[in-house]
Structure 1
Amino acid sequence: MTHQKGVNLTDIRVKDAQEFVQVRPSQQGSLEDMWQVRSSCESGRIVALKCSECGLRPGALRVVGGTDAAPGRWPWQVSVRQGSRHRCGGSVLAPSWIVTAAHCVHSYRRLHASGWLVGTGVARGSIEQEAGVPVEKVIYHPLYNGSSLDYDIALMKLRVPLNFSAQLTETLKEALVPLISTRRCNSSCMYEGELTARMLCAGYPQGKIDACQGDSGGPLVCQDDLTWRLVGVVSWGQGCAEPNHPGVYTNVAQLLPWIYRTTEIY
C-alpha cells in the first residue's frame, strides 16, 4: 500500500543545504532517468511518500499509548459485535439506543439486524463469553460517504432496553487527547483539506497516543463541569499514532438534529 500527498514547502523545516529531486513522468529508461537533483524547489510543493504493508499492525490494535481504565469509569462504552466477534466500539445514547460509526455497519448492510449484538460491561478479555444484547434495527446516516467517511455515524436500536447496573471492565483503555482546530488539521502538514464540517481532530502532532483499529465507533468525550459530553465518534485517521496524523472523529454536535429525529421516528 502506498500513500502520497503534496506538502507546502513553507510548512516544513528545510535545512540550508537541502537538495530536492524533481520527478518527471517517463515511459522509458531507468528510474534514475526520471529525476533530476535540484538545489531549490521552484514549485513550492513537495511530495511526501510512504509505503507500508497492507493489513493491521501487529500489536497496534485499539488504543495506542493509553492506560487501563478503572472499572466503571466509562459506563457508556459498549462493544458492537457480530456474534462473538468484536467489530467496533459504541456509546450508550439511551436505554434502547447505541451510537457508533457508519463505516462499522455499512459494509454489512445486507446483514440482518439480529446478526449484531451489543456487549456492555466488558471491553475485552472475556467479552467473547458474554451474551450481549440483540439489536432490532441498524440506521446509518443517509448521507454517509464510504470514500470520504463524511457523515460517519449510525444508530442501533436494541431489542430490549439496557439494564443499568455496576459495570465490570477487563482491559478497557483510555487516553487523554487534546482537540485540534479543523484549520490546523486541514493544513498541508496534516490532512490537507480532507476534513469536512462533520469531522473534528484530536491527538498530538508528535503522535504516540491515538485510537486504532477496533476503536471505531467508540466515544470521544469532554468534561463540562460535572457532566461528560459525547463530542466525537472514532472515525478514521492515517495509521495509528503517527506524527502529524491525529485521530479524526465524527462531530456529534453537527449531527444532533438527525439523532433526535431518528430516535423519535423509531
Structure 2
Amino acid sequence: MIKMFWTGLLCFGFLALCAAAPNKRAVIDAAGCGMRPLLSDNGASEMTATQARIVGGIEAVPYTWPSICSFMTDTGYHICGSTLVKNKAGVFYLVTAAHCVSQRRASRYLARCGMHGMATANPDSVLLTFSDMVLHPQYSDMTFENDIAIFTLVNQPNTNDFVQPACIADQPYYGGEGSIVAGWGTLSYGGEMASTLKQVYKPIKPDATCAIRYPGEFEPANMMCAGEPEGGVDACQGDSGGPLYTYRNGKWYLTGVVSWGYGCAAPRNPGVYADVYNLRTWIDTIIN
C-alpha cells in the first residue's frame, strides 16, 4: 500500500530556538481551554457513544468544535485541518502538520475558524491571516517525524462560543484511551471531500502495537497511532494537520496532529499522528 499524507484540496469561497525542557506537567497554555460551549455536557457523552465521514464517522453537531479550523491557501483552497491553542499570556496560535506547508511564507496561507459547512454560510466564522510560521526543525518529509508546524496570527480573534482554544496535552496518552478525530477530509480513500465537519471515535493504540503495524517507520518519540484492528474508522485525505482530541478532567486536549497512514481506514493500519505531549517542549519554546 502507498504511504499517504492526508492533505487535500477543496475550493471554498524557521527557525526554532532550543531551550531547556520544562516540567512536562507544567502548564504551557492559557486557562479556560478545551471547552465546547454549545454542548450542555461539553461533549462528554461523545466519548462513550458508539459512532458509526472522515471515514466511518458521523457529522459533528454544528459549531461544537470551536478549536478546529480549515487551513487554506491564500486563494481559499482547503488543504488541511488545524487547531487553535493559546499560550500562557492568552495569545492564540494555530497548530497544523508540517507536511501541509509547501510554501515558506506565512502570508501564503489562511485559516477559517468557527465553521461547519464548506460550501454554506458560517455567519460566526473568522478568517485568520498569519505573520510567521515555524516548522519543527527536525521535521522529515521522508520519515514524517516531528510533523508539526505553528503559525502566528496577524490579528487575534475574539474568544466566543464558536472560537475557542483546545488545551495542549499535559500528560501522555495510554493504550486504549479514547479519542475523537475531526475534519473535512474525504469520506473514503480517493473519494469526495466532506461538505460538513465530521468526527470519529478511535481508541489510541499502545506504542508497541503501532511499531508492529509500521515496522521501521513508527517513531514513538514523536508519533502515536489510533484505530480499530478491523479498520473502518480513520482520517483521510484533507484531514492532515487536524486534531486528535482526548477528553480529560472535563476538558478537550489536542493530543495528536493528523499525519500519515497507509490508505484510509484499512484493517491493521491505524492512523498515525504527531504526539503533542512528546512535542510540547518544542511547542513551549515557540508559543511562550
Tell me the TM-score normalized by structure 1. Answer: 0.71
Which whole-Å CA distance do the structure 2 matches of 1:254 and 1:125 have between them?
A: 32
Asked if the contact 2:114/2:126 (under 8 Å) is kept, the reply is no
Q: 1:84 to 1:91 in 2, by over 3 A?
A: same
Corresponding position of 2:55: 64
Match of 2:81 among 60, 73, 89: 89
Q: Secondary structure at the match of 1:176?
A: strand
Matches within 5 A, 1:190-205: 190-196=213-219, 197-205=221-229
* Range with greater deviation from structure 2 (224-233 or 128-137): 128-137
Corresponding position of 2:157: 162
Match of 1:102 among 84, 98, 109: 98
RMSD, aligned CA = 2.4
Which whole-Å CA distance do the structure 2 matches of 1:141 and 1:76 have between them?
A: 21
Aligned residue type for 1:180: K
Q: Secondary structure at the match of 1:232?
A: strand
Match of 2:107 among 114, 117, 142: 114
Give how far 1:3 is off: 5.3
Asked if the contact 1:79/1:123 (under 8 Å) is kept, the reply is no
Aligned residue type for 2:200: A
Which whole-Å CA distance do the structure 1 matches of 2:254 and 2:2 have between them?
A: 32
Aligned residue type for 1:115: R
Corresponding position of 2:68: 77
Asked if the contact 1:96/1:159 (under 8 Å) is kept, the reply is no
Asked if the contact 2:113/2:126 (under 8 Å) is kept, the reply is no
Q: 1:128 to 1:249 in 2, by over 3 A?
A: farther
Q: Secondary structure at the match of 2:201?
A: coil
Corresponding position of 1:126: 119
Q: Secondary structure at the match of 2:245?
A: strand
Q: Secondary structure at the match of 2:202?
A: coil
Number of positions where the alignment pairs a residue of Structure 1 with one of Structure 2:
203
Identity value in percent:
39
CA shift digits 1:219-251 (9 cap, x unpaired): 111111211111100000001000111100000
The structure with the largest helix share of the pair is 1
Asked if the contact 1:137/1:158 (under 8 Å) is kept, the reply is yes
Structure with larger Rg: 1
Q: Secondary structure at the match of 1:258?
A: helix
Corresponding position of 1:183: 208
5+ residue gaps, structure 1, are 5-54, 57-61
5+ residue gaps, structure 2, are 9-52, 164-183, 185-194
Residue 135 in structure 1 maps to residue 133 in structure 2: no
Higher relative contact order (Cα pairs below 8 Å, separated by 6+ residues): 2
Residue 153 in structure 1 maps to residue 148 in structure 2: yes
Which whole-Å CA distance do the structure 2 matches of 1:75 and 1:185 have between them?
A: 30
